[in-house]
Amino acid sequence: MRARRVPIARLAAVLGTALLLAGCGRGGSGSQQRLTVTGSTTVLPIAEVAAEEFQTAHPGKRVLVAGVGSSAGIESVSNGTSDIGTSSRDLKPEEESLGLVDTPIALDAVAVIVNPSNPVDGLTKTQVAEVFEGKITNWNQVGGPDLEIGLVNRDEASGTREAFSKIVLGGKGFDPTAAVLPGTGQVRSVVAQAASGVGYISLGFVDSSVKALSIDGIPANEQTVADGTYPISRLLHFFTKGEPTGLTKEYVDFVLSPQVQDEVVRDAGFLPIPKDAK
């Protein structure tokens, strides 16, 4: 679903954006107002659907969205190539001097799921990492029954895998003997059917067929994600050069409106930004 684009596509997207902007600049003020949003492919489903709805609601205003990766998005907003840079990560120390203003637009939380019959209710983040690295191979090593752990992994195109790998494994490799499944739905149904199964999916897609483990004693639910205590979560950001103004502000406000937060964001498997937080 949240597929990573190939570098050639990135290059094409960047070039395309640049050309469009150049064209816009030279072609003069034009009758249309354009806004360029580039960056994270994880944010792409939100930014894109929101852009379509925004254009429907405001005829004559165009929002161009491209998924080129978080770093490229931050780079392009800081050098003025695009109006909004989207990112699935925080600014790095060397990027903090660029004068970018952060507007969190959604929460991306990953739940570790097991079969409902599994007596294990929670693990520490370290234990989760060891399970997925293949160091812990039996449920009895973490207080469960004597049952070999059935690891379920996602394919490398998955944004969920990327988030999970970064937050939990910290760059260490997954156990290569784990089953690799191509979709959230498959991971969920396989874990729902196999007593030994363990996998990870976006918190927004957890349902009653599986059990989401608490991590470091903190249950996985919207409250703990919203108040920032659930460890396997990250913010999705819009970065702008200075406070958003004009069309940029209109679009950012639209993305933060209940219409997008409760529909588009949830449909994409993310959680809305809590109203009081910013």
Partner 1 sequence: MDTTRDGTRMKDPAPEMCSDESALAPEPPRTRAGRGLVKVSRATYLKEAALRNLFLLCACVAVAGVGLIFLFVGLKGWPIFGKVGIWQFLAGPKWYPTAGYFGILILIVNSLLAMIGALALGGPLAVGTAVFLSEVASPRVREIVRPAVELLAGIPSVVYGFFGLVLLRPIVADLFGGLGFGLFTVWLILAVMIVPTIAALTEDALRSVPEGIREASYAMGATKWQTIWRVLLPAAKIGIIDAIILGMGRAIGETMAVVMIAGNAPVIPDGFFKPFLTLTTVIVMNMPYASGDHRTALFGVAIVLFIVSMLFVAAIRLISRLGKEMS
Give the integer Cα–Cα distance in Å for 96 and 239.
11
Give the integer Cα–Cα distance in Å for 194 and 6.
34
Smaller CB separation from partner 1, 11 or 22: 11
Smaller CB separation from partner 1, 78 or 165: 165
Smaller CB separation from partner 1, 90 or 148: 148
- The answer to whether the beta carbons of residues 230 and 224 sit under 8 Å apart is yes
Q: Which amino acid is located at 223 in the chain? A: Q
**Where do contacts with partner 1 occur on this chain (CB under 8 A)?**
3-4, 6-8, 147-148, 150, 152, 155-157, 176-182, 186, 190, 193-194, 196-197
Q: How far is the CB of 156 from partner 1 (least distance, A)?
A: 6
Q: How far is the CB of 270 from partner 1 (least distance, A)?
A: 21
Smaller CB separation from partner 1, 3 or 22: 3
- Give the number of other Cβ atoms within 10 Å of residue 194's Cβ: 17
DSSP labels for the chain? --BPPPHHHHHHHHHHHHHHHHHHHHT-S-SSEEEEEEE-TTTHHHHHHHHHHHHHHSTTEEEEEEE--HHHHHHHHHTTS-SEEEESSPPPGGGGGG-EEEEEEEEEEEEEEE-TT----EE-HHHHHHHHHTS--BGGGGTS-S-B-EEEEE-TTBHHHHHHIIIIITTPPPPTTSEEES-HHHHHHHHHH-TTEEEEEEGGG--TTSEEPEETTB--SHHHHHTT--SSEEEEEEEEESS--HHHHHHHHHHHSHHIIIIIIHHTT-BPPPTT--
Q: How far is the CB of 48 from partner 1 (least distance, A)?
A: 18
Q: How far is the CB of 264 from partner 1 (least distance, A)?
A: 23
Smaller CB separation from partner 1, 141 or 186: 186
Q: How far is the CB of 219 from partner 1 (least distance, A)?
A: 26
Smaller CB separation from partner 1, 192 or 225: 192
Q: How far is the CB of 84 from partner 1 (least distance, A)?
A: 25
Q: How far is the CB of 8 from partner 1 (least distance, A)?
A: 6
Smaller CB separation from partner 1, 159 or 231: 159
